[in-house]
């Protein structure tokens, strides 16, 4: 790609950027902190910087062997059984293998013509364990079997701000779709068009440009865990259906269509010619010709974006459901840095006595420990408030007071601190815990 073409493209489309607004509005939803505009986050310089920083972090990773094993899962997944996805089981399995994912929780949209649970894959397939469920009315549901009750989680909490916890084992504390949709749509589309060559060159960095800490979700989750234990999972909400198709038009114009084949931008003037030049096409075709077909959310990228790790010793139906119900869960945003082992646990007299999701009675010699494969800003949250910060890869809290403790780890990439790890709580209390 020629630098001249990129320069021309930026000049030609500057009007679109101005019209969309280059700064984040203070009136936007409080799901994320105010930060740089989406145009800046998707610029070539920012994406290149992100990938350089990510490579540097990966080079410093050190394997960690905690006392409780971790198994990577991906939950809230859609395939061709959902009306808004064409993804196949083979594509999902390939993505799971590429990302080290061992458990996939499918949650198809209900259909009037098919039983999407009965028809979906479940159990073991090519080394990947599948749960088959549905997403409906802000609920993720995996039906119970053998006398076990249904497993129900609150989905898309932003759509049900008054929904309580009764009847649920937990909630989504992060949802990829919810995260992306807080970007104003006109501004987002303009930014994607403006920066398309850079985005195609740095796809994972572009995907992470939408990552925001889920402020509202976490505040609600912390309130729930103060009442009684409650599980928090990441929702990948993967559909493999977000993309753009660029068509070169006779006369030198350009047309951009979305994944549903709707035209979202067309230009027969300077801007269109500049975009074609930036994509390496300077000769106008005799008829409309597709020159780029690009997916923002292929399964592998959306799976790697965030993993829901379960602290379970083996993978089977009972262990997976128990891990999800009891909150033995760690979220990791692995397009930032892989999670090569992690531990957050309590120990007494040097021996582990419990981990996330556990009730542990405070006493002499008790301490909380954390170990990560990379130095990060570790934030210990107690009863929903920041308790302590540590720039470290290991933390030990001696004689912790009773409370609900969870951990966050943040990493600096491309000039911004970003959430890397978010855990479910450890419950230090001498009082009986309420049942879910």
Output the tens digit of pLDDT for each of the chain's 436 residues.
333 333 333 434 443 333 333 333 323 333 344 468 889 999 999 999 999 999 999 999 999 999 999 999 999 999 999 999 999 999 999 999 999 999 999 999 999 999 999 999 999 999 999 999 999 999 999 999 778 899 999 999 999 878 789 999 999 999 999 998 888 877 887 888 889 889 999 999 999 999 999 999 999 999 999 999 999 999 999 999 888 889 999 988 999 888 778 888 898 988 888 888 888 888 889 999 998 888 889 999 999 999 999 999 999 999 999 999 999 999 999 999 999 999 999 999 999 999 999 999 998 899 999 999 999 999 999 999 999 999 999 999 999 999 999 999 999 999 899 999 999 999 999 876 565 5
For residue range 251-272, what is the model confidence (pLDDT) as tens digits?
889 998 887 788 888 989 888 8
Q: Are 245 and 235 in contact (CB under 8 A)?
A: no
What is the predicted pLDDT for the residue at 7?
Answer: 34
Collapsing DSSP states into helix, strand and coil, what is residue 221?
helix
Q: Is the pTM of this model over 0.95?
A: no
What is the predicted pLDDT for the residue at 229?
Answer: 96
Q: Cα torsion for 317, 322, 324, 330, to the nearest 10°?
A: -110
Collapsing DSSP states into helix, strand and coil, what is residue 359?
strand
For residue range 78-132, what is the model confidence (pLDDT) as tens digits?
999 999 999 999 999 999 999 999 999 999 999 999 999 999 999 999 999 999 9
Q: Are 301 and 209 in contact (CB under 8 A)?
A: no
What is the predicted pLDDT for the residue at 330?
Answer: 98
Q: Count how many residues are written for the chain.
A: 436
What is the predicted pLDDT for the residue at 228?
Answer: 94
Q: Where are the domains of the chain?
A: 3-21+243-295, 58-240+299-428
Q: Cα torsion for 101, 334, 340, 370, to the nearest 10°?
A: -120
d(CA 252, CA 271): 10
User: Rg (Cα) of the chain, in Å, rounded?
Assistant: 23
What is the predicted pLDDT for the residue at 434?
Answer: 60
d(CA 426, CA 404): 6
102-132: buried (b, 16+ CB within 10 Å) or exposed (e) per residue? Answer: bbbbbbbeeeeeeebbeebbbeeeeebbbbb
Using CA atoms, how far residue 77 sits from 67, 151, 157, 161, 269, in Å, is 30, 16, 17, 23, 41
170-209: buried (b, 16+ CB within 10 Å) or exposed (e) per residue? Answer: bbbbbbbbbbbbbbbeebbbbbbbbbbbbbbebbbbbbbb
């Amino acid at each position: 790609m020629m630098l001249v073409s990129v320069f021309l493209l930026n000049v030609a489309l500057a009007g679109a950027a101005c019209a969309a607004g280059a700064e984040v509005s203070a009136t936007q939803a409080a799901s994320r902190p105010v930060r740089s505009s989406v145009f800046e986050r998707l610029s070539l310089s920012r994406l290149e910087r992100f990938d350089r920083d990510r490579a540097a972090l990966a080079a410093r990773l050190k394997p960690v062997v905690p006392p409780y094993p971790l198994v990577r899962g991906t939950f809230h997944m859609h395939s061709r059984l959902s009306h808004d996805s064409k993804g196949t089981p083979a594509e999902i399995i390939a993505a799971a293998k590429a990302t080290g994912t061992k458990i996939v929780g499918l949650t198809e949209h209900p259909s009037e013509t098919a039983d999407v649970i009965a028809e979906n894959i479940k159990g073991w397939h090519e080394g990947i364990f599948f749960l088959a469920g549905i997403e409906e009315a802000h609920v993720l549901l995996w039906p119970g079997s053998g006398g076990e009750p249904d497993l129900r989680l609150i989905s898309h909490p932003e759509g049900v701000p008054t929904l309580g916890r009764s009847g649920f084992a937990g909630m989504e504390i992060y949802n990829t779709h919810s995260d992306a949709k807080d970007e104003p749509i006109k501004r987002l589309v303009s930014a994607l068009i403006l920066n398309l060559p850079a985005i195609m060159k740095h796809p994972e960095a572009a995907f992470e440009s939408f990552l925001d800490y889920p402020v509202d979700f976490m505040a609600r989750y912390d309130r729930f865990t103060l009442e009684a234990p409650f599980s928090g999972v990441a929702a990948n909400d993967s559909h493999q259906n977000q993309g753009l198709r660029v068509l070169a038009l006779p006369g030198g114009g350009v047309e951009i269509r979305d994944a549903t084949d709707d035209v979202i931008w067309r230009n027969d003037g300077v801007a269109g010619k500049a975009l074609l030049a930036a994509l390496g096409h300077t000769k106008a075709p005799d008829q409309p010709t597709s020159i780029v077909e690009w997916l923002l959310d292929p399964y592998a990228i959306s799976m790697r974006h965030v993993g829901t790790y379960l602290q379970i010793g083996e993978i089977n139906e009972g262990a997976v459901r128990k891990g999800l119900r009891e909150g033995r869960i760690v979220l990791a945003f692995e397009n930032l840095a892989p999670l090569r082992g992690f531990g957050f646990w309590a120990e007494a007299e040097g021996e582990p006595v419990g981990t996330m999701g556990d009730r542990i009675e405070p006493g002499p010699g008790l301490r909380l420990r954390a170990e990560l494969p990379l130095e990060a800003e570790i934030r210990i949250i107690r009863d929903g408030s920041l308790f302590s910060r540590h720039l470290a890869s290991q933390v030990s809290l001696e004689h912790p007071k009773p409370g609900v403790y969870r951990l966050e780890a943040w990493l600096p990439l491309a000039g911004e601190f970003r959430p890397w790890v978010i855990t479910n709580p450890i419950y230090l209390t001498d009082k009986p815990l309420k049942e879910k």
